[in-house]
Amino acid sequence: MLVFVLYVKWSQSYWARKKVPYIKPTSIWGNFENPFKQKLGVKHIAKEAYVEFKQQGVPHGGIYLFAEPVYIPINPELVKNILAKDFSYFNGHGFPHDAKKDPLSAHLFNLDGDSWRNTRVKLTPVFTSGKMKTMFNTVLDCGKPLTQHINAELETNKSLNIHEIVSLFTIDVIGSCAFGVECNSFKDPDAEFKKFGYQVTEVSPRNKVYNFMKFVAPTIGKFIHVRRVTLEMENFIINMIQGVLDHRKSGKVVRNDFMQLFLELEKKAKANNEDSFTIQEIAAQAYVFIIGGFETSATTMTFILHELAYNEEIQEKLRNEIRETLRRYNGSLTYDGIMEMKYMDQVVNGNISPFCFPLIYFKCI
């Protein structure tokens, strides 16, 4: 016990030894809460630390997640260097992953070192504005069942659970754009893809243990591996993607989605005699769409609609911008039209989570 306490004390002196401004740890958990009894959450506490360093006028600062030091850059030039230049030093988030035992955990956000660098190089051409533009109509198609569902619900004169509604929409978008499948979440309440989508974001004992290892003890997490998803969900996603890719190849089906982009990368790799993504690697990159695009997008849209309901002046100004944009594009909703909506952009960005500053895990070397 004494050795453990001394280890924690020594680990939590890292920033002092490096002469980096830091916030003094408040407990064995560092500057954060007990991960099993969270009230504020990681993002809120990290934001408060960022604001404190900002007020101190320092270029950067450090805090602790248990015994792990966390680096928070404040100066914009530092942020720019870390995100765009210093890949030899900052090439991962330090989160546990195991490509063999838990293939869905080996996505771009979790990878580090050469694996991260190689995957990033391969995926960079996928996320250009031109590629995103080709998926726009796929997203637009998901809006049709959304409007039909809302219109049907309005006829019942019942209150709408808007978070539930936009969650179904985001699941349909992810299914169509990332996995190349039609989820039909509004029509089929028992759709398997929807069930697994909710499973990823639910607060379960499994996810609590995983988050503990991910945020508090990533080094230990690499040795004591905890699955982020069940084996059932892993098999479902991998088998579904394998079926979609086989169908595309055999039937010569072409569709503007994430799967099609991977098929193009595979052709390019074969032409250049290079290694292409394995089915497990493709599944991992597609899976991260669920993590990053399901609950986050649904919550953002819910907050936007809530604020618009209470601010009719802003609501009307935004409505007028939408009407004017539709008029310029002959009543059609287009990618270019949305990109021209400056006020829409302000409304959306004004409701995004306050965790919009860099929080960068810094490995002790």
Q: Looking at residue 210, which CATH number applies to its domain?
A: 1.10.630.10
Q: Are residues 331 and 310 both part of a single domain?
A: yes
Q: Are residues 340 and 252 both part of a single domain?
A: no
Q: Are residues 159 and 213 both part of a single domain?
A: yes
Inside any domain, residue 103: no
pLDDT 10s digits, 323-345:
999 999 999 999 999 999 999 99
Q: Are residues 246 and 340 both part of a single domain?
A: no
Q: Are residues 201 and 288 both part of a single domain?
A: yes
Inside any domain, residue 101: no
Quick one: pLDDT at residue 219?
A: 62
Q: Are residues 282 and 251 both part of a single domain?
A: yes
Quick one: pLDDT at residue 337?
A: 95
Quick one: pLDDT at residue 223?
A: 66
Quick one: pLDDT at residue 143?
A: 92
Q: Are residues 154 and 286 both part of a single domain?
A: yes
Domain residues for 340? Answer: 305-349
Quick one: pLDDT at residue 362?
A: 43
Quick one: pLDDT at residue 294?
A: 84
Of the candidates 79, 36, 64, the residue with the CA atom closest to the CA atom of residue 356: 79
Q: Are residues 279 and 312 both part of a single domain?
A: no
Describe the crossing of helices 162-178 and 279-293 by its angle, rounded to 10 degrees. Answer: 160
Residues of the chain with pLDDT under 70: 35-36, 38, 86-87, 94, 201-228, 351-365
Quick one: pLDDT at residue 225?
A: 64
- Whole-structure pTM value: 0.77
**3-state class (DSSP) for residue 93:** coil
Quick one: pLDDT at residue 188?
A: 83
Q: What's the Cα-to-Cα distance from 60 to each of 56, 69, 71, 259, 331, rounded to whole Å?
A: 10, 13, 8, 40, 49
Count of structural domains, the chain: 3
Q: Are residues 265 and 204 both part of a single domain?
A: yes
Q: Are residues 227 and 80 both part of a single domain?
A: no
Quick one: pLDDT at residue 265?
A: 87
Residues in CB range of 38: below 8 A, 6 or more apart: none
Q: Are residues 242 and 338 both part of a single domain?
A: no
Contact assessment for residue 70 and residue 62, using Cβ atoms and an 8 Å cutoff:
yes
